[in-house]
Structure 1
Amino acid sequence: MAALPASVLVLGELPGLLGTAAAAAPPTGSATRYTIVPFLNSDDGTVNVYQSDDATDFRLLKASAYTPPSNRIRDASVFKHTNGYYYLTYTTHTWQDTSTTIGFARSSDRANWTFLYDYTVPLTNLSRAWAPEWFVDSDGSVNVIVSCSTTNDEWIFTPYLLKATNSALTTWSSPVALSGIGSNHIDTYIVRIGSTYHAFTKNETTKYIEYATATSLTGPYTISRTGDWAGWGSYREGPALVQLDNGGWRIFFDGYGDGSYYSSDSYDTFATWSAPAKLPVISGTARHFTVVKETVSGGVTLPTGVTRSFRSANYSTRYWQEQSSLLNLPVVTSSSTTSEKQAATFTVVAGLADANAFSFRDASGNYLRHYGFRGRFDPNDGTSTFAKDATFTARTGTTSGSIRFESYNYPGYYLRHYNYQLRVDPTDGTDQFRQDSSFVPVGAWG
């Protein structure tokens, strides 16, 4: 066990992962916030900080937020400790160089970072220590999973576990290899569900991300999925997972072979995955990150049991209106007919699939849902599919008082107007899309 000088000690409680939101939409007045701290495709000497409310559309919080005092910063992993600080651990050298240390830094606000120390991983004949990843276990213990190679074969990596032996994260246990994953695996990322540890790790020979499970953090792990088992393709690395508001799990990975960054979702405990989708805004810029998810104040407040009309944020004379069971965005004014005003009036209710989210009823009791990605009104058939199709998570809009409504079962898809029709489409990260998907709840027309 190696110790560091008292000058870098941080007082804190027992280690743990603060800010990990439960699998539910944020309660009224609160918001979900995802933070990533990637290094740049063009520069491995610094990291940017981005944040998102939907784990899809990441916006720049601060450019070049942290540059270490020496060496490089690659593969930065971030988590929030019980003492309120955010911590980074990272690879300290570029890939060509011998690298026996991993770096540590911390921040109180995610934007401004302070270097803590470089830690020499105590492995005999160590050549490279790469891609350290935080893992906080259910007992609150803080761990780092680091990929290490030795001088006898400097390109064959094995995952090792380092466990923090104090709450200041300044002393660490001796490295322990993760049994069962074995050599020639890198970028190992672990999540725990119940009593099972789920590991996602890149096979350096095949260039595919593999999947393994164990009942102990150190293993033995059984690798049960190899090759292109999830449909993500090859030359993928740096997997990182986070649980979404609707309970699904999202994996992010660096598609270094084509210069893009991807996400993919699972709703059956990692058995099957959605087709990988390129992340807007950061794809091609960001490299290898992990995610901190938090529930923070300042989110949307939208009372339920109240009738409202919804005005477009960027077309101030146009409102949601039901026309032949479809939701459109025509002009509605004081001169509109009574029936037109009534068709532009809806009751806001608690979400059918999540009470913290929202559903919308028309005057006849039918619910707004997406069908073929078109907004339409249908009677509730009582199925879970209908409930999810008719539930929308509220996210803050682009203008004061405006709201964006994210599909509950298609995360990253938003109710937006296109040719004055309301659709559920995937965000493309542009300001135009954000404006087209922002609506202001106002007093009911009808």
Structure 2
Amino acid sequence: MTSGYPSDATENAVQANITAAGYNGGSTSTATLTPGSRISLQATTAPCCTSHYLRHNDADTKVVISSINSSSSATDKADATWIVRAGLANTSCLSFESTDKPGQFLRHSNYQLYLNTDNGGSSFAKDATFCPTAGNSGVGTSFQSVNFPTKYLRHYNYTAYIAGNGGSNAWDATKSWAQDTSWLTAAPWS
């Protein structure tokens, strides 16, 4: 018999084990990638990052991953919540708008991910559009860059990039690439 409630770390570890085992009705997502929906993107790399979510920094425009849980501040939860939009450059794909900074989108520049205001240009639209594919690790979803189709949204050293599986940049490292480019579409934190 038990009493009390499990810690956030315990809940996250149990959820990661459930996901890794392929339960959850055959799905590894708890939210949908339907335009207009709100989601959070959870990293799947074990053991380091299964409690981490893609979020923007408030101190600068960089996009990173960090641990978010029920005890996190409202600001941190909002920073890790995205509105799914039809892709700015290709409506068959997706773009991710910040919930707490309307009009600002997840976009890559020199392969690193940032939160920037949509300037209406075609380059921005391409940099902010990602096509969902089956997770490269066999779990969740991977997001392929529309203008660099060999590169996927990846976390590397807690920073977000678009990365290929091998290449000249440190974030293109093949070690953990499949896991680092696979994301769970989670219920929104905010």
Task: Sort the TM-score into its range (normalised by shorter chain).
Answer: 0.7 to 0.9
Which residue of the other structure, out of 182, 185, 188, is the alignment partner of 1:441? 185
Q: Per-residue deviation at 1:359?
A: 0.1
One-letter code aligned to 1:375: L
Does residue 95 of structure 2 align to residue 351 of structure 1?
no
Q: Greater helix percent: which structure?
A: 2
Does residue 54 of structure 2 align to residue 316 of structure 1?
no
Q: What SS class does the counterpart of residue 336 from structure 1 fall into?
A: coil
Does residue 157 of structure 2 align to residue 423 of structure 1?
no
Q: What SS class does the counterpart of residue 319 from structure 1 fall into?
A: strand
Structure 2 length normalisation: TM-score? 0.73
Q: Contact (CA 8 Å) 1:313, 1:399: kept in 2 or not?
A: no
Separation of aligned partners in 2, 1:342 and 1:388: 25
Does residue 142 of structure 2 align to residue 404 of structure 1?
yes
Q: Per-residue deviation at 1:411?
A: 1.1
One-letter code aligned to 2:55: Q
Separation of aligned partners in 2, 1:377 and 1:430: 26
Structure 1 length normalisation: TM-score? 0.32
Q: Contact (CA 8 Å) 1:375, 1:422: kept in 2 or not?
A: yes
Separation of aligned partners in 1, 2:120 and 2:165: 29
Q: What SS class does the counterpart of residue 320 from structure 1 fall into?
A: strand
Instruction: Name which one, 1 or 2, has greater alpha-carbon Rg.
Output: 1
One-letter code aligned to 1:316: T
Does residue 37 of structure 2 align to residue 306 of structure 1?
yes
Q: Per-residue deviation at 1:430?
A: 4.4
Separation of aligned partners in 2, 1:354 and 1:316: 30
- Give the root-mean-square deviation of aligned CA atoms: 1.7
Separation of aligned partners in 2, 1:376 and 1:430: 23
Counterpart residue number, 1:342: 78
Counterpart residue number, 2:120: 382
Q: Contact (CA 8 Å) 1:391, 1:408: kept in 2 or not?
A: yes
Separation of aligned partners in 2, 1:390 and 1:380: 9
Which residue of the other structure, out of 97, 100, 119, is the alignment partner of 1:361? 97
One-letter code aligned to 1:379: T
One-letter code aligned to 2:155: H
Separation of aligned partners in 2, 1:405 and 1:435: 12
Separation of aligned partners in 1, 2:94 and 2:175: 24
Q: What SS class does the counterpart of residue 177 from structure 2 fall into?
A: helix
One-letter code aligned to 2:64: N
| Cα shift readout 1:129-175 (whole Å, capped 9, x = no counterpart) | xxxxxxxxxxxxxxxxxxxxxxxxxxxxxxxxxxxxxxxxxxxxxxx
Q: Per-residue deviation at 1:302?
A: 2.2
Identity among equivalent positions (%) equals 32
Q: Give the aligned length.
A: 146
One-letter code aligned to 1:432: S
Q: Per-residue deviation at 1:372?
A: 1.5
Separation of aligned partners in 2, 1:389 and 1:356: 15
Name stretches of at least 5 consecutive residues in structure 2 with no aligned partner: 1-28, 167-172
Counterpart residue number, 1:372: 110
| Cα shift readout 1:324-375 (whole Å, capped 9, x = no counterpart) | 2211001111111010101000101100011110000002120110011110
Q: Per-residue deviation at 1:431?
A: 6.7
Q: Greater strand percent: which structure?
A: 1
